[in-house]
Structure 1
Amino acid sequence: IIMRQAIGKIVTVPQTLAFPISPQAIRVSNYNKPVQMVILGTSYEELQKIQTDVIRKLRQNKNLFQIESDYSRNKPEVKLLINKNKTKDLGISTQSIGQTLETLYGGKTVTKFNKLGKEYPIILQQYLDDRKDKESLSKIFVRSENTGSLISLANLVDFKEEGSANKLSRYNRQRAVTISANISESYTLSEAIKYLEKTMSQIAPEKQITWKGKSEELKETSNELYIIFALALLTAYLVMAATFNSFIHPFIIVLTVPLAVFGGLVFILFLNSSINIFSQIALVILIGISTKNSILIVDYSNQLRTAGKNIESAVKEACELRFRPIIMTSLSTMIAMIPLIVGNIGPGAGEGSRLAVGATILGGMIISTFFTLYVTPTMYLALARNTKRIDAVDIELKNQLR
């Protein structure tokens, strides 16, 4: 909203070229556009045709704007086409024409001048005004090898005006063009990347594409966060398995993680947020926050079973005694997330990242806290009924030592 208001005021200033820029939340590059897709190919002519079709398709998406490419043939260029029949009849070689043009337009150091110990190069070159005008070619003469006479270059070449590219970009040592775009406020970068991938699959499915800037960072982090999430879950499970000396008790505790993830995703959609890198990090945080409630119930149930109580009474008493600490710790976490959500009423700097973290953790805690009080005791009774007491090994050792 602020950027649109700024653009509206900027365009009213005559002879001014300016545009507002929103800094990226994660600085992976300078103030580049968030969407940057690189198309790799074998020739720039082929890439130009593909980029034209892709940009035409992207402009049909109202959520993408300021669509540009780093390859555009808008630089004026004059090509000289040598009339080979004339040059052959007059005895003028292509090499002599090329050397003449190179010297007069590019400049050539013919000698050096020394004065008072300082050396100055003497450069042979055509006047600047003549170099800017293509008609000045009539002032350039080349010598015939047959007759030795000077012949005007304008009689030997034809002019062809066409556009050329300012630069020819490469990516990973391959010819490439980069298409960039901005996205609207209601459109996520993930959705934009999926739309571009779908567009490329329709127009040029055989071409290889890659990403730059924020798009590249999102693609990499999205793939890595799935691995990080799995490793975090596995690490938590193994640590609890060593603590409880059992593989069943940690499994009962970990069952609350899917509930927390479900709650986080529901609140992301409910609060009109998006699944981005911040919400994915919050999902990893939920692994540790959501499992603590189940740990309180399972650990105290094991202690009561060690004291000699049966499994039903141990679980019931553990839920009654641990209900207050579970509610207190969960409420404190939920209240801490409320400023992140309430603070996003209206536009502001960093609102997307704060809302993603707050909505994910708040939703995950509400759902996991509510269902933990039912799921954990039920699964404990179902799965841990046939397990030994947590101190069974200690009791057996004492009996063997007697």
Structure 2
Amino acid sequence: MLRLDDANRGNIDKIKNAMIDGTNGQKIPLYYVADVVSTTGPNTINRENVQRKTVVSANVSGRDQKSVVEEIQKIINEKVKLPEDYHIEYGGQFEAEAEASKTLIATSLLSILIIFLILFREFKTVKLAAIILINLPLALIGGVFSIYFTSGILSIPAIIGFITLFGVATRNGILLISHYNTLREEGYTLFDTVIQGSKDRLSPILMTALTAGLALIPLAIAGDLPGNEIQSPMAKVILGGLLTSTILNIFIVPAVYYLSNKKEATK
């Protein structure tokens, strides 16, 4: 890149007549070998992998990044025809979020498998482990509804909230089933085991839910404050999941336990 001095820079005729070295050592005007025109262009040229690139950036507000990018891709594919040798690459935070979401979903499935194996090792039967895991869909119900009625966006903090729910919901199931087994060993009938065991474990289950829920309420209602972009979605998911898992756990798990063991008790 060459640049003339201040006296000659503003006059296109002077630029055209600027003398340069010719092939035979003589001086020739620049316009002999180049077309000198006045036009506009980028003040910088960016390159990546030896290819020129232009970055078009935007911020997203009120929606999740994934749906916005998908809509942009659809519109561009339908209405934009790129010149030859041009292509578009989509990148940014949504790309990292998509990768993180895949990782979290995979770890969620892995955590469910590990929880099942631990429960099977503890209770020595697939049936009891499966009954305890019934709490997971019960917790998911509240988490899904909390997302639906608040932001409507399944974000990474929300997925982390679901993973947290797995542990809390599983604990409630373990409290019930382990106490049921203890009462059966003490000679209680199946019906008395379910009734007495549910009464004994009602207070611990409610106290666990209330302790966690009361601590999460300030985070859930302060989602608009700076710094709560991560805590608030996670807190809302956990609160919704705690509500449904706690209420439904009191009724559904005892009923399933009773029905699954009824045939054995009548023998």
**TM-score, reference length from structure 1:** 0.57
SS in 2 for 1:160: coil
* Distance (whole Å) between structure 2 residues aligned to residue 240 and residue 204 of structure 1: 55
Equivalent position to 1:375, from 252, 256, 259: 252
From the superposition, tell whether residues 320 and 281 of structure 1 become closer, same or farther in structure 2 (CA, over 3 Å).
Answer: same
Cα drift, residue 151 of structure 1:
4.9
| 2:58 maps to which of 133, 158, 181 | 181
Does residue 317 (structure 1) correspond to residue 166 (structure 2)? The answer is no
Matched residue of 2:36: which SS? strand
1:82-93, aligned counterparts within 5 Å?
Answer: none
**1:256 is aligned to 2:132:** no
1:141-290 pair list within 5 angstroms = 151-155=28-32, 157-165=34-42, 166-170=44-48, 176-184=53-61, 186-203=62-79, 209-212=89-92, 214-272=93-151, 274-290=153-169
Deviations 1:191-213 (A, max 9, x none): 3233233334434699664422x
1:102-152: CA deviation from partner (whole Å, max 9, x where unpaired) = 8xx48xxxxxxxxxxxxxxxxxxx75644665422314165686xx98654
C-alpha separation in 2, matches of 1:179 and 1:315: 63
Residues 19 and 30 in structure 2, CA contact (< 8 A), matched pair in contact too:
yes
Q: Distance in 1 between matches of 2:229 and 2:251?
A: 34
Cα separation, 2, equivalents of 1:273 and 1:149? 73
1:224 deviates by 1.1
Residues 2-401 of structure 1: matches in 2 within 5 Å? 105=2, 127=5, 129-130=7-8, 133-136=11-14, 137-140=16-19, 151-155=28-32, 157-165=34-42, 166-170=44-48, 176-184=53-61, 186-203=62-79, 209-212=89-92, 214-272=93-151, 274-344=153-223, 347-385=224-262
The offset of 1:222, in angstroms, is: 1.1
Deviations 1:334-359 (A, max 9, x none): 11111112334xx4212332320221
Change (3 A) 1:386 1:164: farther
1:155-184 C-alpha deviation (Å, 9 max, x unpaired) = 55432344444223326x666543310122
From the superposition, tell whether residues 253 and 180 of structure 1 become closer, same or farther in structure 2 (CA, over 3 Å): same
Aligned residue for 2:138, secondary structure, equals helix
Pair member with larger Rg: 1
Whole-angstrom distance in 1 between the partners of 2:6 and 2:52? 34
Q: Tell me how far 1:268 sits from its aligned partner.
A: 2.3
- AA matched with 1:375: I
CA distance in 1, matches of 2:154, 2:227: 15
- Give how far 1:279 is off: 1.1
Map Cα deviations across residues 284-314 of structure 1 (whole Å, 9 max, x no partner).
1000011111111111111112223333322
Q: Aligned in 2, Cα 1:158/1:244: closer, same or farther, shift over 3 Å?
A: same
Distance 1:303 1:144 in 2: 101
Indicate if the aligned counterparts of 1:273 and 1:352 stay in contact, CA closer than 8 A: no
Q: State how far apart, in whole Å, the 2-side matches of 1:248 and 1:330 are.
A: 25
Q: Structure 1 residues 235 and 386, CA, compared in 2 at 3 Å: closer, same or farther?
A: farther
Give the distance between the partners of 1:293 and 1:233, measured in 2 at CA.
15
C-alpha displacement at 1:235, in angstroms? 0.9
Aligned residue number for residue 122 of structure 1: none
Q: Helix, strand or coil: the match of 1:179?
A: coil
How many residue pairs were aligned?
259
CA RMSD, aligned part only? 3.1
% identical aligned pairs: 24
Secondary structure at the aligned position of 1:169 is classed as strand
Q: Distance in 1 between matches of 2:22 and 2:111?
A: 80
- Higher share of residues assigned helix: 2
Moved more, 369-378 or 198-207: 198-207
Q: 2:116 corresponds to which letter in structure 1?
A: Y
Indicate how the Cα distance of structure 1 residues 229 and 153 shifts in structure 2: closer, same or farther if over 3 A, else same: closer
Task: Find the aligned partners of 1:369 and 1:201 in 2 and give their Cα distance.
Answer: 48
Cα deviation, residue 250, structure 1: 1.2
Alpha-carbon distance between aligned partners in 1 of 2:20 and 2:52, rounded to the nearest angstrom: 39
Deviation of 1:378 after TM superposition, in Å, equals 1.6
- In structure 2, C-alpha distance between the alignment counterparts of 1:285 and 1:335, rounded to whole Å: 16
Q: Report the Cα distance in structure 1 between the residues aligned to 2:81 and 2:196, rounded to whole angstroms.
A: 62
Q: Note the residue ranges of structure 2 that are not aligned, 5 or more in a row.
A: none
Separation of aligned partners in 1, 2:89 and 2:98: 13
The aligned amino acid for 1:248 is K
